[in-house]
Amino acid sequence: MTTTSAAPGAATPPAGAPLLEVRDVRKHFPGRSAGLFGRRGNPVKAVDGVSFALHQGETLGLVGESGCGKSTTGRVIAKLIEPTSGSIRFQGKEIADLSTGQMRPLRREVQMIFQDPYSSLNPRHTIGTIVGSPFRIQGAHPEGGIKKAVQGLMERVGLNPEHYNRYPHEFSGGQRQRIGIARALALRPQLIVCDEPVSALDVSVQAQVVNLLEDLQNEFGLAYVFIAHDLSVVRHISDRVAVMYLGKIMEITDRDTLYEAPMHPYTHALLSAVPIPDPTVEARRERILLTGDLPSPSNPPSGCVFHTRCPKYRDQLSDGERERCRTEEPVLEDKRPGQSVYCHFAEVRSDIIDGEAPAPRSTGIREVIRKTAAGAPGTGIE
């Protein structure tokens, strides 16, 4: 750990040690056996070698299609499931192999907000019980008693404290998500893993919850791992973004670079697929359609895992280059300073979102690429 370089995608690492450092984490689920006494099938490689670092007060967005392993990654970080291998260091302490009992004190520091505000709240418990349960489980005695603390939390997240004795079904979807947020906040954690927290909400309510999450981050210095498939929301809330595909990170970099100068063909396809609420922009954009379905994570393609669906592989590469994609797996490495990409033939495109490239900037970027491509890759950061 002492001699390794900085975490991938960290352009200018903020001062101080990272709050969370994830290295080469894997989660393989045992494959289903064929028949009663059949041999075990191949393991499902839900997460297959994910590394990143997260600093205090920072938000890392995790995006990708369903089945790419983003939710499993979130659950492994929160230690709701055990990683198969790899290292998770939280505040410098290795937590990957801690038992449930050993983890318990750390649960105050790492909390989770779930996607579905309907199934993540026990319908037979009142809001007071739900939001107060972290105090009881951890044996915490907040000043003024649990009830006062819970009502303070409810007020903070925009719920009426008088609704302390109501049940989840009496609240709307947005209000329930606020209840989930209040519960996650109760013990003043350092890190909250948010798994699709606004996906089930209407846009107007979604904006309320996103604003609340940002306010709470500023107030308490929270770090978020923000898992979502909505790339517009991720751009709004994240400082850095990791794009995942088949259990691996395809590209990780800071927010502005990812959206303005993405390099991985998969990032290009994802961004181009997001419809933009402006018919004139829509008319001039290119839509990069991915063909076929996600390959099975128990039997991923050889070489680059994305090559079976890669538009660049299909349309632009020579046979020799394709051979390389099929046989040699790329590594996630810095192609430009602070922009790590898992691709042999990564190239900046800045026309994905708007349909036309901002002219002076794009030439500059292309020059940078040629230079970095000419020099030894991976030397971009110190």
Partner 1 sequence: MASTTPAPAVATARDAELFLSVEDLKVHFPTEDGLVKSVDGLSFELRRGEILGIVGESGSGKSVTAQAILGLHKGSRARISGHIWLDGRDLVPLSDEEMRGVRGSEIAMIFQDPLSSLHPFYTIGDQIAEAYRVHNKVSAREARARTIEMLEKVGIPNAPGRVDDYPHQFSGGMRQRAMIAMALICQPKLLIADEPTTALDVTVQAQILELIKDLRDELNSAVILITHDLGVVAETCDHVVVMYGGQCVEKGSVDDVFELPEMPYTWGLLGSMPRMDRVRQERLTPIPGQPPSLINVPTGCVFNTRCRFSDHVEGRRCFTEHPQLLPTAPGHEVRCHIEPEERRRLFELEIKPKL
Indicate which single residue of 149, 231, 305, 365 sits in contact with partner 1 (rule: CB under 8 A).
231
Query: Which 8-state DSSP code applies to residue 162?
Result: G
Smallest gap from Cβ 332 to partner 1, in A, equals 21
Q: Name which of 263, 253, 250, 255 is nearest 348 in CA terms.
A: 263
Confirm or reject binding of residue 158 to partner 1 (CB under 8 A): no
Q: Which is nearer to partner 1, 42 or 87 (CB)?
A: 42
Order of strands across the sheet that contains 333-336: 110-113, 191-195, 223-227, 59-63, 240-245, 248-254, 339-341, 333-336
Q: Which is nearer to partner 1, 185 or 198 (CB)?
A: 198
State the sign of the Cα–Cα–Cα–Cα dihedral 207, 213, 216, 218.
negative
Smallest gap from Cβ 360 to partner 1, in A, equals 17
User: Contacts with partner 1: how many residues (CB under 8 A)?
Assistant: 45
State the sign of the Cα–Cα–Cα–Cα dihedral 98, 101, 104, 110.
positive
Q: Name which of 53, 187, 51, 212 is nearest 131 in CA terms.
A: 187
Maximum CA pair distance of the chain? 71
Q: Facing residues of 320 across strands? A: none
Smallest gap from Cβ 64 to partner 1, in A, equals 8
Q: How many CB atoms neighbour CB 101 within 10 A?
A: 7
Q: How many CB atoms neighbour CB 192 within 10 A?
A: 25
Indicate which single residue of 20, 269, 343, 381 sits in contact with partner 1 (rule: CB under 8 A).
269
Cα–chain center distance at 74 = 7
Indicate which single residue of 109, 116, 214, 254 sits in contact with partner 1 (rule: CB under 8 A).
214
Confirm or reject binding of residue 206 to partner 1 (CB under 8 A): yes
Confirm or reject binding of residue 275 to partner 1 (CB under 8 A): yes
Q: What is the spatial distance between Cα 234 and Cα 261, in angstroms, rounded to a whole number? A: 16
Q: Which residue reads 């499902």 in tokens? A: 44
Indicate which single residue of 194, 270, 341, 346 sits in contact with partner 1 (rule: CB under 8 A).
270
Confirm or reject binding of residue 140 to partner 1 (CB under 8 A): no
**x-or-dash string of contact with partner 1, 289-308, rule CB under 8 A:** xx-xxx--------------
Order of strands across the sheet that contains 20-29: 44-54, 20-29, 85-90, 93-94
Indicate which single residue of 236, 324, 326, 366 sits in contact with partner 1 (rule: CB under 8 A).
236
Confirm or reject binding of residue 278 to partner 1 (CB under 8 A): yes
Pick the stretch among 9-17, 227-235, 358-366, 368-376 that binds partner 1 (CB under 8 A): 227-235
Q: Name which of 229, 331, 337 is nearest 24 in CA terms.
A: 331
Pick the stretch among 12-20, 225-233, 315-323, 342-350 that binds partner 1 (CB under 8 A): 225-233
Confirm or reject binding of residue 339 to partner 1 (CB under 8 A): no
Indicate which single residue of 184, 186, 191, 353 sits in contact with partner 1 (rule: CB under 8 A).
353
Q: What is the spatial distance between Cα 343 and Cα 265, in angstroms, rounded to a whole number? A: 8
Both tokens of residue 8? 């991938």
SS3 376: coil
Indicate which single residue of 211, 302, 316, 363 sits in contact with partner 1 (rule: CB under 8 A).
211
Pick the stretch among 13-21, 29-37, 271-279, 365-373 that binds partner 1 (CB under 8 A): 271-279
Smallest gap from Cβ 136 to partner 1, in A, equals 31
Residues at the interface with partner 1 (CB under 8 A): 65-66, 172-174, 202-208, 210-211, 214, 229, 231-233, 235-236, 255, 259, 269-282, 287, 289-290, 292-294, 353-354
